[in-house]
């Protein structure tokens, strides 16, 4: 076989392969099963992207909660800085609720929160630990505040609202009326308030309170090193109550 005939044969074979591939691609586009799996792929990509965004938000919550816990450990009776530290800690915790948890709630709007539970669970538990630790210090300063907030209280604090602007649909009767004065664009926009929330799982709350025991033990050791034996005994009683409560679960 000459070189020219071999070249024509290879060229003809390549053209047949390209035509076969095009026919396969065209048939796949018309195949309903392929279309369904393409939709599944888009849905999975959207879920994975949302999961990663929630993980990043949860990581930010974890970092800020740890910083707040370290801040609360700086409370010293000899420095008389309890009220100042508690005020700053409460302000920062409120900001976490209004910013970070709100962003997660927006991501979970219309979604099943249990599918993304592992994404935000570490941040939520760390936040509950910091929030309950702050309330523990406040209960020591205020005799009327002898209880820590339960998960329903946190659930109420994580209720949000968002204003969505929607275009008004004009009536047929209004379209037929010709007016020399055109209405403003703002009058054609309708504001709708949408309510959403961040779901606080009771199990996550229980695990967060369990993590609080470690911070109470650290406070007990620090107070003992500073000569505050009464604070150490008080903290030990709280730990005994927590142990008794968890033992009954």
Question: Strands 189-197 and 159-167, how do they pair?
Answer: antiparallel
The tokens for 75 are 């409370």
129 marked ligand binding residue: yes
State residue 102 phi and psi, 5-degree precision: -65, -40
CA dihedral over 215, 221, 226, 232, signed as positive or negative: positive
Is 175 annotated as a binding-site member? no
- Cβ-in-10-Å burial (0-12, 13-18, 19+) of 141 comes to exposed
Structure tokens at 170: 């004009």
Angle between helices 117-141 and 202-225 (to 10 degrees): 50
Residue 62 contacts residue 100 (beta carbons within 8 Å)? no
% helix, strand, coil for the chain, step of 5: 75, 5, 20
Contact 218, 232 (CB under 8 A): no
CB-CB contact of 92 with 152 (8 Å):
no
Within 10 angstroms of residue 183's Cβ, the number of other Cβ atoms is 11
Neighbour count for residue 220 (Cβ, 10 Å): 19
- Give the whole-angstrom CA distance, residue 19 versus residue 23: 6
List, as residue ranges, the binding site: 129, 215
Q: Which residues are annotated as a binding site for Mg(2+)?
A: 129, 215
């Amino acid at each position: 076989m000459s070189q020219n005939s071999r070249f024509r044969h290879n060229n003809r074979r390549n053209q047949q392969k390209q035509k076969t591939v095009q026919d396969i691609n065209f048939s796949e586009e018309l195949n309903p099963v392929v279309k369904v799996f393409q939709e599944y792929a888009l849905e999975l990509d959207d879920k994975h992207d949302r999961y990663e965004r929630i993980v990043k938000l949860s990581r930010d919550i974890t970092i800020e909660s740890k910083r707040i816990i370290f801040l609360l450990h700086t409370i010293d009776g000899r420095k008389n800085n309890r009220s100042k530290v508690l005020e700053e800690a409460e302000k920062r915790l409120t900001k976490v609720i209004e910013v970070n948890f709100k962003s997660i709630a927006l991501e979970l709007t219309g979604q099943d929160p249990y599918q993304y539970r592992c994404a935000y669970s570490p941040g939520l538990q760390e936040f509950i630990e910091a929030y309950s630790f702050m309330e523990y210090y406040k209960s020591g300063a205020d005799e009327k505040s002898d209880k820590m907030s339960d998960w329903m209280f946190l659930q109420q604090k994580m209720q949000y609202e968002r204003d969505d602007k929607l275009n008004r649909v004009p009536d047929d009767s209004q379209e037929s009326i010709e007016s020399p004065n055109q209405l403003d664009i703002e009058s054609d926009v309708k504001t709708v308030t949408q309510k959403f929330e961040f779901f606080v799982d009771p199990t996550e709350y229980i695990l967060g309170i369990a993590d609080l025991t470690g911070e109470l033990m650290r406070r007990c050791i620090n107070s003992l090193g500073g000569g505050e034996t009464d604070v150490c005994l008080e903290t030990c009683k709280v730990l005994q109550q927590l142990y008794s409560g968890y033992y009954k679960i």
